[in-house]
């Protein structure tokens, strides 16, 4: 399976985050499959409306800046593609996982999970740096 399109969808996620574009973020999430979103320190969200509302609150925060994402790695599981990467934020580094599924011939998010990472590699060690 070619993972380039799922990696592109992950890039679109970070672009929506950085630009605080709730419409783009909403468009990235699947509508026909079970969902799960776990923001660092938050309880699990599984209802699409609650997930989009959480992003509306995050993106609506004027003090929230988008992360610098780096170290993307694709993982294929059948018809799903998982993307893991590091997110550098002002308060530290998050290890993020996303699972994308095919929906209407597009890669859509079914899972986003972020967790603090104690000993992340430096961006230059990962061989990749996205902003």
| Span 54-105, pLDDT tens digits | 999 999 999 888 899 999 999 999 999 999 999 998 889 999 999 999 999 9
Separation CA 1–CA 77 (nearest Å): 10
- What number is the average pLDDT over the span 105-127? 87
| Span 5-45, pLDDT tens digits | 999 999 999 999 999 999 999 999 999 999 999 999 999 99
Q: Quote the pTM value.
A: 0.90
Separation CA 31–CA 47 (nearest Å): 10
Class of domain 4-117 as given by CATH = alpha beta
């Amino acid at each position: 399976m070619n993972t380039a399109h799922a990696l592109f969808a992950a890039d679109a996620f970070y672009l929506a985050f950085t630009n605080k574009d709730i419409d783009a973020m909403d468009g990235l999430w699947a509508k026909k499959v079970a969902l799960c979103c776990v923001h660092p320190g938050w309880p699990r969200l599984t209802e699409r409306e609650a997930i989009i509302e959480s992003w509306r609150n995050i993106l609506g925060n004027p003090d929230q800046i988008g992360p610098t994402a780096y170290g993307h790695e694709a993982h294929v599981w059948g018809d799903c593609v998982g993307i893991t990467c590091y997110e550098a934020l002002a308060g530290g580094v998050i290890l993020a996982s996303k699972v994308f599924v095919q929906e209407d011939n597009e890669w859509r998010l079914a899972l986003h999970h972020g967790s603090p990472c104690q000993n992340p590699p430096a961006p230059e060690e990962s061989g990749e740096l996205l902003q």
